[in-house]
Amino acid sequence: MQNSLWLAGVEKLSLNKLSTSLNCDVCVVGGGLTGIYTAYLLAKKGLNVVLLEGNSSVGIATTGHSTGKLTPQHDAIFAKLIKTFSEEEARTYYDANVNAINNALQNISIDVSQKVDSYLYATTEQGKKQLDEEIEAYKRLKLPGNETTETELPFDVLSSIKLSNTSQIHPTNFALHYAKLAIKEGANIYVNSRVTKVVIDEKTVYVDDELEVSYNNLVLATHYPIEAVKGLQIAKLSIERSYLTATRTTELLKGQYLSVDTPSRTIRTALINNQPYFIYGGSSHKAGTIEETHSYYETLQNEVVSKFDLPEPEFLWSAQDPDTADSIPYVGPITDNESNVYIATGYRKWGLSNSLVAGEIISSAITKEKHAASDIYNPSRNQFGITMLRMLNLIGFTVANLADGYLTRMDAPKCTHLGCRTRWNDGDETWDCPCHGSRFDKNGNVIEGPAVYPLDLKS
């Protein structure tokens, strides 16, 4: 099993498992950054909040396997957004992320977050063309990025966009910090408490099929929504898996970098216990579709040594994130009819700042305040053309993978979500489902959903 740099030696919060049925104003399911920050904001407003986390700790799932860049520079997104949304809406997306980051950083110390510049760069003509379009979008939206070819990288770039004064964080410590603040504000956080059933009509969730938590409002902050069928998110979210490495280095970079070339590469440094680490990652594929994932790690390991003249990485990890057809996450009521059940998903690998936006949108909705970005993040927004195309593609993809599993992997365990045959992931030693991204450890325990029950390894 590979290890994330962020989980090495991290202090764990001492939290209990749910042992009795409860009532609350707001039940938050999932203790990643989305759930924790939402719980913190709601508890601060005086609501009675219960957060249920299926793992043994909070902040260790996707949040603890990210790169830890906290920036509104979300890849080359603005050129895409202005093709689908109005310029005003695209600018709202940027402003919502900037504001949410600034608000959250007010309570954060230098140990958990540092200021750096964010760069998007290209080393190929194809990438440069993409950056040219992004630069044009920055100009139209009046975003504060500068074009430059000067970077600290040990190779030339053809073009780059620098966004000054952004942040990078230790994502797990950042999440733990907010978990402590949420508890201080009165939130009750339970670990090892997996929600296995959601009965929306009864306003109740069940932990391990036994204990009941009754709520007025429910926030499904489970990364991929476990109740996804309701709002048809199951047919709208595509999931990409990517790879990261960390190796000891001697100097910290002043910037954090992302290439727009194919395959893409991400670069930053981090200081962990006074030791600088160089973090290098990239490449992606549809979650659950590759068995020989060790080759992704090997490619990155070789590049760290050959391109950056650094030792072989000590830490190797990977993670996945769902994305939406129009690139803006789904944050808000799961359907128009269920205004007290919220989801937050589809972050497209930019879920650290988008988790903070999600916390603000959902907590505002619950306390009946209007958030400036709630319409563009609304899961029921009308993007008929591209959403329909995405749904047709995904339904085709799922049916093909379901059939392929029964034709080629009859001995692989069946996913407990909808019964697709899983696939062994040799780099991470996990069973991964290609249909909706559920993952299980080698003993069959759930690592991430939408599945909520362990695998039957004899199925």
d(CA 150, CA 135): 16
Counting Cβ atoms within 10 Å, is residue 389 exposed (0-12), middle (13-18) or buried (19+)?
exposed
Residue 213 near residue 22 (C-beta atoms within 8 A) = yes
Nearer to ligand FAD, 308 or 453 (CB): 453
Q: Which of 2, 4, 67, 130 is in the footprint of ligand FAD by CB under 6 A?
A: 67
DSSP-derived 3-state class of residue 129: helix
User: Which CB, 54 or 405, lies closer to ligand FAD?
Assistant: 54
Return the residue of 28, 31, 227, 416 that touches ligand FAD, per CB under 6 A: 31
**Rounded least distance, CB 176 to ligand FAD, Å:** 12
Minimum distance of ligand FAD from residue 453's CB (angstroms): 10
Closer to ligand FAD at the Cβ: 310 or 356? 356
CA-wise closest residue to 257 among 361, 160, 383: 160
Q: Which of residues 355-384 bind ligand FAD (CB under 6 A)?
A: 355
The nearest distance, CB 281 to ligand FAD, in angstroms, is 6
Task: Sketch the per residue contact string, 233 through 272, with ligand FAD: x for CB under 6 A, - otherwise.
Answer: ---------x-x----------------------------
Amino acid symbol at 1: M
- For the beta carbon of residue 116, count every other beta carbon within 10 angstroms: 22
CB neighbour list of residue 188: distance below 8 Å, 6 or more residues apart:
22, 24, 49, 50, 51
Does 349 contact ligand FAD by CB under 6 A?
yes
- Kindly state whether residue 29 participates in binding ligand FAD, applying the rule CB under 6 A: yes
**Of 281-340, which residues contact ligand FAD (CB under 6 A)?**
319-321
Give whichever of 86 and 271 is closer to ligand FAD, judged by the CB atom.
271
Between CA 412 and CA 406 the distance in angstroms is: 9
Near ligand FAD by CB under 6 A: residue from 257, 342, 350, 431: 350
160 binds ligand FAD (CB under 6 A): no
- Site size toward ligand FAD (CB under 6 A) is 38
Binding mask 179-218 toward ligand FAD (x if CB under 6 A, else -) reads ---------------xx-----------------------
Distance between CA 250 and CA 247 in Å, rounded? 10
User: Which CB sits closer to ligand FAD, 139 or 254?
Assistant: 254
Nearest distance from C-beta of residue 37 to ligand FAD, angstroms: 8
Span of 125-133, 155-163, 333-341, 350-358 interacting with ligand FAD by CB under 6 A: 350-358
Shortest separation between residue 312's beta carbon and ligand FAD, angstroms:
20
142-172 residues labelled b (16+ CB within 10 A) or e (exposed): ebebeeeeebebeeebebbbbbeebbbbbbb
CA-based nearest residue to 331, from 242, 202, 198, 223: 223
Q: Which of 351, 405, 427, 434 binds ligand FAD (CB under 6 A)?
A: 351
> Strands 211-220, 338-345: parallel, antiparallel or unpaired by DSSP?
parallel
Are the beta carbons of 342 and 220 closer than 8 angstroms? yes
Closest CB 392 distance from ligand FAD, rounded Å:
25
Q: State the minimum distance, in angstroms, from the CB of residue 442 to ligand FAD.
A: 18
Helices (H) and strands (E) in the chain, counts: 9, 22
Q: Which is nearer to ligand FAD, 66 or 159 (CB)?
A: 66
6, 30, 249, 297: residue in contact with ligand FAD (rule CB under 6 A): 30
Find out whether 270 and 170 touch, Cβ atoms under 8 Å. Answer: yes
Residue 69 binds ligand FAD, judged by CB under 6 A: yes
Under 8 Å between Cβ of 317 and 296:
no
User: Minimal CB distance to ligand FAD: which residue?
Assistant: 351
d(CA 217, CA 41): 14
Residue 454's φ and ψ, nearest 5 degrees, are -65, 165
Q: State the Cα–Cα distance between residues 202 and 338, nearest whole angstrom.
A: 12
Closest approach of ligand FAD to the CB of residue 54, in Å: 3
Binding site for ligand FAD (CB under 6 A): 29-35, 52-55, 61-63, 66-69, 194-195, 221-223, 226, 242, 244, 319-321, 347, 349-353, 355, 449, 452
